[in-house]
Each structure stands twice: as C-alpha cells, then as structure tokens.
C-alpha cells in the first residue's frame, strides 16, 4: 500500500469514525449551533478582508504581512478547541502491518490539509481580490496569497508540537510564551509604541521576500520532522504502557470520615483530581488561566467596559465548574455499575461533588484579590459572583447529571471529538457564562449598583441553602433514566 492510498483510506476512516461515534446523533443540535457560529465568523472575516483590501490597494499590499502575526496568534489559540493530535489518532493502526512513520506522516499531512486551515481564506481572498483589481499583478497576488496560507499551515504544525509537549508536561507552556515574547523584546528598550511600530515595519518589509520564503521552507521541514518523530514515539509509548509511574501514598484525609459516605466520595473527588491525568490537567490549566487574567486585570487597562469587567470576574469563578461539571458523571461512568449497587449512592456522589466544587471556589476568590486591591473589582462584585456560582451556576450545571451518558477517560487526553454529547450541554454552557452577567447589568441599571449585587447574592444564597432539595430532585430524575444512561456509559468506555 503506497502512501497516497493509505492517506485516502485513513481520511475515509476518520469520517466514518465521526459518524459512528455514539454521541453523533445527539450532537446534531450542537452541530447546528456550530454552523451558525461559523457562518457569522465567515461573514465577519469577509467584511474585514474587504475593508482592509480597500485601504491597502494602490501600493500598500504588503500591509497584510504587518497584520498577519495578529491573526496567526489568534489562529494558534483557536486550535486548542478544535485540532486533534495525531498521537491520539494513530494508536488503532499501530498493530497493523503498516509502517508507523507512514501512518504518522499521513495524519500530520491530514492536519495540514484540514478545512480549519482554509478558514482564513475567507479573509485573505477578498483582500487580495481587491488589491489585484487595484493594480497588483496577478502573479504577485497569487504568490502573496500562497505565502499567507503557507504561514497558516506552519502555524498548524507549530500548534501540534506545542500542544503535544504541553500534554506531557505543563512546564512546556514556557516554550510558546518565550517564542511569542521574543519578537516583542524591542518594546523593552525603545518603548511600547515605537517597538510595535518597528515590529510591523519589519514584517511589512521582509515577510514577503526570497530569504523569508527559504526560511519558511526550512521551518516547515523541521516542524514536520519533529512532529513526525514525536507523535510516533508518544503513540507507541502509550500503547506499550511505557509511561513512567510514580506511586506515592496520598493523604488519608481522615478528617472527612466524620461525614460518612459523603466524606468517602469527597476523598474520591480529591484523589481523582490528583491522580487522573485528564482531570488533573484541566485544574492546572484553569489555575494558569485565572492567574493570567488576575494579572492582566490588576496591572493593565486591557478591559475597561462594565460588561468585560463583569464577564471576566464571573469567568474566573465559573471556569472550574463549567469545564468539569459539563461532563458530570462522565468519570463515574467507568464504574457506574458499582455505584448503582447500593441505594442513594448516586445522591451521596452528587452531594460530594457539590461540596468539592464549592470548596474549589476558594482558589479564584484568593486569586482575584489583586484586582480588588488595584480597584478594578469591588468586593461586593466578587462576593456576588462567588455566591451566584455557589448557587445558581452549580444548580444549572448539575442538571446535566441526569442527561449525560458518556464515560470520560481518566488518563487519556480529551479531544475536540464529542465535546458536547447533547444539545443541553451547549445551552447550559452558554447560560452559565452570559445570563448572570446580563442579570447583573440589568439589576445595576434598574437599581443602584450595590443593590444589584445584593440581589445576585440573595439569588445565590437561595440556591445554596436549598441544595439538598434540588440535588435530591436530580437524583430522582437520574434514577428514572438509569438504564438508558447505563447503556450509554457502557457503550462509550
């Protein structure tokens, strides 16, 4: 089997895999929302490319290379929500009589030819169409367009390398920070404004030249080779169970014994967050994001509007719950049969999860003190979003315990495939991020700002104090669907 035949076979298998996934039918509504989102973004990119093209025609065509670094940086972060790593895809093929390097290379090429890389053509094509009509030779137009798309493909390879390394150790996050900080170093010596001007001028003058094209070719080859060897090694290591294990005694947490069965499940939640790679990594990423947001809000003026201030304050509180509770009962799906052997086990699990995630809110509360001391956040606003998360936000997220029925891998990385197993997950995600902010702005506009935040605190307290009532209601609804959910958990292990 030659590489071209293998490539088309793997591509066909990927499409069939997506269609045959147990959650495909339930993802239809999420797909519709995604289509609307992509359509809106497409219109936005077309309009942006058109306006930039009108401003650049007549001699300033190289302006595209001055602004392209901004789009490449945005493209890099957008890929964290969509691009899968080849090491997660090639494992089913490792036992087949096919060279591992061929399989790895095919999946890397598949990532380079992904439709996601073509998204930015919605911005680039209108731009170059207008500058071509404005007098730029057709051959030069096509050359510049190809180079821009080439840079996006290089960005895909760069993301693949960074994401793979970060999955192995979070310390590798220093690599992209260092790489992106290096071009900004002139700002330290000649000032922010002059430094940015120097960077834009350099990109404007040298990004489209023979030397630059040669550098792009070398970078493409180097990234491809590194990714190929790294992905092949990691996939083989996972299959062979070569991952180094460091067995350590964990704390007994005997102080939780007084809480009976709920205390035992609290221990399980803590140990699950510490021991299981996929779960632990989400907590570490959340901690990193909240620290970064706290620093930005404390020491810069990057977010000034009321909506932005309220939005980021809520985001810091709801992040841990939104990322983990949207898949509530997913980790337990791996051993749900055992949980159903005793009456009201599930209720005790729900209580333990609620108390655990309430305790986790201590972290953002402490990390948001710098913005409070700097005057960006008021203490009343922080308390309002703390209590609204304790009560209303957790009430909404825990509803998913009734409808989730896909087991979540404990150690394997969670990829973009099947992020939303049902439409309710997507709806609740949107509600928990935007509705409290909307209510806050509404109450503070109708009443005084302090009264508005007091109303939010009251709503949060009402749901917090009645948590036993609505948790039991969730448990009763779960038990009515237990056989349907049990079938789904078993099918997705």
Along the 493 residues of the chain, how does pLDDT read in single tens digits? 677 787 778 778 777 766 665 555 555 555 666 677 778 778 888 888 888 888 777 777 777 888 888 888 888 887 776 666 666 667 677 677 777 777 788 888 888 888 788 888 888 888 888 888 877 888 888 888 898 889 999 988 898 888 888 877 777 888 888 887 777 776 666 665 676 677 777 777 777 888 888 999 999 999 999 988 888 777 666 655 544 455 445 556 777 777 788 888 888 888 887 777 767 777 777 787 888 888 877 777 766 778 888 888 888 888 888 888 888 888 888 888 777 777 778 888 899 999 999 998 998 898 888 888 888 888 998 999 999 999 999 999 999 888 888 887 766 554 444 455 566 777 888 888 888 888 888 888 888 888 988 999 999 999 999 999 999 999 999 889 888 888 888 877 6
| Pairwise CA distance, residues 86 & 108, whole Å | 6
CB 298 within 8 A of CB 412: no
What is the 3-state secondary structure of 276-345? Answer: CHHHHHHHHHHHHHHHHHHHHHHHCCCCCCHHHHHHHHHHHHHHHHHHHHHHCCCHHHHCHHHHCCCCCH
Q: Look-up: residue for tokens 């999946």?
A: 107
Q: What's the DSSP call for residue 135?
A: T
Tally the C-alpha atoms within 13 A of residue 85's C-alpha that lie toward its C-beta.
27
| Helices and strands (H, E) in the chain, number of each type | 25, 0
Q: What is the pLDDT of residue 418?
A: 47
Region at 375 (left for phi over 0; alpha for psi -120 to 50; beta for the rest): left
CA distances from 19 to 9, 83, 409, 417 (A): 16, 17, 20, 11
Closest of 141, 111, 115, 147 to residue 129, by C-alpha: 141
Q: What is the pLDDT of residue 247?
A: 46
Mind listing the pLDDT tens digit for each residue in 212-266?
A: 889 999 999 999 999 888 887 776 666 555 444 554 455 567 777 777 888 888 8
Percentages helix, strand, coil for the chain (3-state, rounded to 5) are 80, 0, 20
Q: What is the pLDDT of residue 411?
A: 61
| Pairwise CA distance, residues 31 & 47, whole Å | 24
Q: What is the rounded (10 degree) CA torsion for 391, 308, 295, 365?
A: -10
Q: What is the pLDDT of residue 192?
A: 58
Closest of 157, 130, 139 to residue 63, by C-alpha: 130
Q: What's the DSSP call for residue 390?
A: I
Closest of 365, 369, 385, 395 to residue 310, by C-alpha: 385
Q: What is the pLDDT of residue 471?
A: 92
Q: What is the pLDDT of residue 416?
A: 44
| DSSP character string of 449-487 | HHHHHHHHHHHHHHHHHTHHHHHHHHHHHHHHTHHHHHH
Per the document, the length of the chain is: 493
| DSSP character string of 271-289 | HHHHH-HHHHHHHHHHHHH
């Amino acid at each position: 089997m030659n590489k071209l035949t293998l490539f088309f076979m793997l591509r066909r298998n990927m499409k069939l895999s997506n269609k045959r996934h147990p959650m495909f039918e339930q993802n239809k509504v999420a797909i519709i929302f995604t289509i609307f989102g992509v359509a809106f973004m497409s219109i936005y990119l077309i309009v942006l490319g058109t306006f930039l093209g009108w401003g650049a025609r007549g001699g300033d065509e190289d302006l595209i290379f001055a602004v392209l670094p901004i789009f490449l940086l945005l493209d890099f972060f957008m890929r964290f929500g969509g691009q899968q790593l080849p090491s997660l895809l090639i494992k089913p093929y490792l036992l087949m009589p096919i060279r591992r390097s061929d399989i790895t290379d095919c999946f890397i090429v598949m990532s380079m030819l992904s439709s996601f890389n073509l998204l930015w053509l919605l911005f680039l094509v209108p731009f170059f169409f207008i500058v071509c009509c404005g007098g730029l030779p057709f051959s030069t137009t096509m050359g510049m367009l190809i180079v821009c798309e080439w840079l996006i493909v290089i960005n895909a390879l760069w993301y693949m390398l960074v994401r793979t390394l970060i999955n192995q150790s979070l310390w590798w996050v220093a690599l992209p920070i260092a790489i992106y900080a290096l071009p900004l170093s002139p700002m330290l010596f000649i000032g922010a404004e002059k430094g940015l001007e120097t960077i834009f001028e350099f990109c404007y003058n040298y990004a489209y030249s023979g030397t630059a094209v040669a550098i792009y070719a070398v970078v493409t080859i180097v990234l491809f080779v590194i990714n190929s060897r790294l992905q092949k090694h990691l996939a083989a290591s996972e299959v062979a169970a070569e991952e180094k294990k460091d067995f350590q005694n964990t704390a007994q947490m005997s102080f939780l014994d007084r809480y009976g069965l709920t205390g035992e499940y609290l221990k399980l939640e803590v140990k699950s967050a510490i021991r299981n790679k996929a779960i632990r990594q989400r907590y570490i990423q959340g901690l990193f994001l909240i620290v970064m947001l706290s620093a930005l809000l404390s020491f810069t003026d990057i977010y000034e509007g009321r909506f932005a201030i309220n939005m980021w304050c809520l985001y810091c509180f709801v992040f841990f719950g939104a990322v983990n509770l949207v898949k509530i009962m997913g980790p337990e799906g791996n051993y749900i049969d055992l949980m159903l052997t005793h009456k009201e086990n599930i209720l005790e699990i729900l209580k333990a999860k609620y108390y655990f995630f309430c305790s986790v809110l201590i972290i953002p509360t402490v990390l948001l003190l710098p913005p409070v001391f700097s005057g960006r956040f008021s203490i009343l606003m922080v308390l309002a979003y703390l209590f609204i998360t304790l009560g209303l936000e957790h009430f909404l997220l825990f509803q998913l315990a009734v409808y989730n029925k896909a087991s979540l891998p404990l150690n394997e990385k969670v990829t973009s495939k099947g992020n939303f197993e049902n439409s309710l997950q997507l709806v609740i995600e949107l509600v928990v991020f935007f509705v409290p902010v909307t209510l806050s702005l509404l109450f503070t506009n109708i009443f005084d700002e302090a009264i508005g935040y007091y109303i939010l605190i009251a709503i949060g307290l009402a749901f917090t104090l009645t948590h036993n009532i609505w948790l039991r209601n969730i448990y009763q609804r779960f038990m009515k669907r237990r056989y349907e959910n049990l079938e789904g958990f078993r099918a997705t292990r």
